[in-house]
Every structure is written in structure tokens, then in C-alpha cells.
């Protein structure tokens, strides 16, 4: 069973700062690692995802950095805004079933 460990559990950042959330996964031969953003009372929304054939992927203010040898990947939110305040989940594939295993979540608060 795939395990995904996410840290930190919570994070407070000043507006304009960089938010960094980390995830570690176990052995996997699969190639898709997404990050989801969830606001209270809403379903998770796919934010950005990466395949391990690249070490970094950037979409706007959001960047995923991927370290295949360390089995780690991280989400960087540049120029963090109060509207980014949400819970973020990383995920990794589990087996060949299309299932995803989610990290424990990180609650981000961006202070104005």
C-alpha cells in the first residue's frame, strides 16, 4: 500500500512570501503526482501535477519540484496571497488501479 507523508501540517505565511509544502512517497513505478487545493466545504480542485520525467513544472505562481531519487516532491507558491489560504493535498498513484493515495493535508494561512 502506497504511503504519502506530507509536511508541514499547517503553515502561516505573510502576503507576498513563498509557501512550501513537501511530500514523500514510497516506491512506485507510476508517473503522476498531483497537488489539490481545497477550500472549506468544497471539493478538492486539481491545482498542478507533474510526471517524473521532469524535475520541475511551473504554472503561474505554482511550481512543483520533483526529486525522483529521494522520492519527494514539493509545492511552491510564489507571491502568496490571502486567497491562497486553503488546505493543500499531495497525492501519489497506488498500484495500477488509477487510485490515488492522499497526504494528510497542509492548512495554509496567508496573512495580509
According to CB under 8 A, which one of 45, 78, 82, 111 is a site residue for another protein?
Answer: 45
Check residue 68 for interaction with another protein (CB under 8 A).
Answer: no
Check residue 66 for interaction with another protein (CB under 8 A).
Answer: no
According to CB under 8 A, which one of 42, 58, 68, 111 is a site residue for another protein?
Answer: 42
Q: 3-class DSSP state for residue 71?
A: coil
How many angstroms separate the CA atoms of 43 and 87, rounded?
11
Query: Residue 64 to residues 19, 33, 95: CA-CA distances in angstroms?
Result: 12, 9, 22
Number of residues that bind another protein (CB under 8 A): 23
Query: Residue 46 to residues 1, 27, 50, 70, 110: CA-CA distances in angstroms?
Result: 23, 23, 12, 24, 20
Check residue 20 for interaction with another protein (CB under 8 A).
Answer: no
Of the pair 45, 78, the CB lying nearest another protein is at: 45
How many angstroms separate the CA atoms of 76 and 57, rounded?
10
According to CB under 8 A, which one of 29, 41, 69, 70 is a site residue for another protein?
Answer: 41
Provide the binding-site residues for another protein, judged by CB under 8 A: 30, 32, 34, 36, 41-46, 49, 89, 93, 97-105, 107
Amino acid at each position: 500500500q502506497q504511503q504519502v507523508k506530507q509536511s508541514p501540517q499547517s503553515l502561516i505565511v505573510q502576503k507576498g512570501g513563498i509557501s512550501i509544502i513537501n511530500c514523500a512517497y514510497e516506491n512506485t513505478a507510476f508517473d503522476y503526482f498531483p497537488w489539490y487545493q481545497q477550500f472549506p466545504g468544497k471539493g478538492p480542485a486539481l491545482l498542478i501535477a507533474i510526471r517524473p520525467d521532469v524535475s520541475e513544472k511551473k504554472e503561474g505562481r505554482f511550481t512543483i519540484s520533483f526529486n525522483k531519487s529521494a522520492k519527494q516532491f514539493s509545492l511552491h507558491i510564489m507571491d502568496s496571497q490571502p486567497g491562497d489560504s486553503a488546505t493543500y493535498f499531495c497525492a501519489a498513484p497506488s498500484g495500477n488501479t488509477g487510485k490515488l493515495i492522499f497526504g494528510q493535508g497542509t492548512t495554509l494561512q496567508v496573512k495580509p
